[in-house]
Structure 1
C-alpha cells in the first residue's frame, strides 16, 4: 500500500515587529513518499527582507528550517538536504520539501524587518 504524507498548514498572521500579515498556501497537502511538495507564503502589507520557515512535528516544539533573505537561502543544521527555500519576489517565498514516509508536520512561515 502507498503511504501518504499529510502536511497541515495554518493561515495566521505572524507577529514579528509591526504585525506582519502573511498568507500561506495550500492549507493541506497529502503526497506519497519519494515526491516533492511546494508551499508558499506571501507578505500582504510589508516588504520585509528576512523570511523564515519552521516545522513542528506533533508533540515537539517549533524548529527553524532556515531563512531566506536578499535572495540567499540559509538552512539550519539537519535541514541542508530535502528542503529548498526560494523566492521570486520580495513578497513571496517558497519551501520545497522532499516527502519522506511517516513525517506528518505543520509548516509555518514568518517575515521580519530585521534578522532574528
Structure 2
C-alpha cells in the first residue's frame, strides 16, 4: 500500500539523524540463512568512540529497537530476549547475533550516539 512502508532512504535518514551524523560501517551487507542456524552482524564507528550503540530491525516498514550496547553492557529488548545477543569486543565495534527460528525477511541497522535515546 502506498505510504504504509518506510522507504529505505527515509529509514537511513532517520538512523543518520539519530546517530548524530556518525560514520558507521555495517557488515555483511546481505545474509541468508536457514532456520536452526545463527548469523552475526557487525558495526564499526569509523571516527568516533560513542558509548551508546544500538541495533534496530525493520520488517514491513516498522522500525523496532532490538538491543543496545551501552558503555560495557549489552542488552536486548523484552520482545527479543530469546535468540538475540548484543555484544562488543572493542569500543568501536559491536555485534548482533541472531538465532534463526523462522523465515523472516528483515533489515537490521545499527546506530551510535553520544547520548541515550
TM-score normalised by the chain length of structure 1: 0.83
Within the alignment, does 1:81 sit opposite 2:82 as a pair?
Answer: yes
Shift of 1:31: 0.9
Q: How far apart are residue 51 of structure 1 and its match?
A: 0.2
Alpha-carbon distance, 1:17 to partner: 5.5
Bigger proportion of residues as helix: 2
1:15 aligned residue: 17
Local SS of the residue matching 1:78? helix
**Aligned-partner Cα distance in 2 for 1:62–1:31:** 21
Partners of 2:114 and 2:34 in 1: CA distance: 36
Which has a greater percent of strand? 1
Q: For residue 40 of structure 1, what is the aligned residue in structure 2?
A: 42
The count of residues paired between Structure 1 and Structure 2 equals: 105
In the TM superposition, residue 75 of structure 1 has moved relative to its aligned partner by 1.4
Q: SS at 1:14's partner residue?
A: helix
Shift of 1:26: 0.2
Gaps of 5+ in 2: 1-11
1: CA distance between counterparts of 2:20 and 2:65? 21
1:112 and 1:19 mapped to 2: Cα distance?
9
Q: Structure 1 residues 51, 29: CA separation in 2 closer, same or farther (over 3 Å shift)?
A: same
Deviation at 1:14, TM superposition (A): 2.9
Q: Does 1:107 align with 2:108?
A: yes
Gaps in structure 1 of 5+ consecutive residues: 1-11
SS at match of 1:20: coil
Residues in 1 aligned to 2:67 and 2:92: alpha-carbon distance in whole angstroms: 17
Q: CA RMSD in A?
A: 1.8
Shift of 1:32: 1.0
